[in-house]
Structure 1
């Protein structure tokens, strides 16, 4: 993990409820020493164009025992598995667990389980930044780009273009192209670099 001091903390686009939920979850993850980092739209404030979001996504690395301990710990904090969502998305069980907070029921929390080499590498390359009023581990800009290119929604492409256009970042293009080649994302990466006016 490295510390990034390249920029002052931006204004958070997260609502007070989401910021409070994030603080609660981070406390439990830290207590159990679970490798983790903030991903998704909430991480954009560190690297790209911040935008409003109504949920939280964190990438974590756990085995089955650690997963069960984490679920129990979160439950004791009033953050429980959303059984209705899990039942409606049975194929997601090994990939993501969605939680609901008793204090902040309007804001979904997704804990995404690192499932491939890239995601495990992303957890080794996290940056510690001041964001959303907290000091927290955030996915690196390159790894956030790869995660969003894997997701492949129009909003994800817009988010990646915003990261590329950030003049304060020096992206590791060799790293990006290495993972794009490995994951079959060459066309997607070429598109966002060209659309942002960066190198192809």
Structure 2
């Protein structure tokens, strides 16, 4: 006989903000109560499923809208115009609907081989710690000496990654610290971001965590801590005013709740001049008194 899950009473505080405008605060609170019952890897799998489904729906829509132009539209929409002369889907489009965690499985052994410390951040990390959502690519921060960029590119290309020569040259002469790579056969993207030599960036690398991407807990990857993801997204939002960054922050706080290191958050929020934003995020996530 099926049992009905008991949902506790929720004291919705003034200022609580749902993740979307069409959801009531109570419905939002119930959703996050359920998300808190999941592990980080289970939330990652939810996000992966959403990403795959979004791609599948997009492909079906393009095929239905114009079957004859489907191949060209696919390449332009999914790959971007720069890939159109090189790559077009020739077989089962399911190969193009993998989620960004697939690229982590390819990059991890390369970085481990070179002894390059790294951590996953961005949308994938926000999904692990907060509200699962779709995300197009993977963001990794790496601790790389620029003089070793040629060796890294050599290993990446041997594993079927495309590394834009211009970006490699810019990194070599310190004009840039971001290398956007694409796996040729899987058509998955990742941004490899060179860590900067600031106290906060060193702290983020030191506090990274080994987390599982699969439910079984077999595959483990380095991911930024939830506190550092919150702080980084608040910093990014200060520049971009992105609502996506804000909802990611609220999602992490709602899920992690009292498990967050509030002393650490306030310490760096004051240093980074984002204390007011952090205070507002606590209010909209329903947390007070920390």
What TM-score do the two structures reach when normalised by structure 2? 0.60
Q: After alignment, is 16-25 or 144-153 more displaced?
A: 16-25
Q: 1:190 offset after TM fit, Å?
A: 1.3
Q: Which runs of 5+ in 2 are unaligned?
A: 1-37, 53-97
Q: Which runs of 5+ in 1 are unaligned?
A: 1-5
Q: After alignment, is 132-141 or 180-189 more displaced?
A: 132-141
1:162 aligned onto 2:251 = yes
Match of 1:13 among 47, 62, 75: 47
Pairs within 5 Å for 1:106-185: 107-115=188-196, 116-132=198-214, 134-152=219-237, 153-167=242-256, 170-185=259-274
- SS of alignment partner, residue 255 of structure 2: coil
Match of 1:81 among 160, 163, 178: 163
Contact 1:146–1:176 (8 Å) recurs in 2: yes
Contact 1:148–1:160 (8 Å) recurs in 2: yes
Contact 1:82–1:100 (8 Å) recurs in 2: no
- SS of alignment partner, residue 47 of structure 2: coil
Compute the RMSD of aligned alpha carbons. 2.5
Give, in whole Å, the separation in 2 of the partners of 1:17 and 1:33: 26
What TM-score do the two structures reach when normalised by structure 1? 0.85
Whose helix proportion is higher, 1 or 2? Answer: 2
- Structure with more contact order per residue of length (Cα contacts < 8 Å, sep ≥ 6): 1
Query: Which entry has the higher C-alpha Rg, 1 or 2?
Result: 2
Q: 1:20 offset after TM fit, Å?
A: 2.6
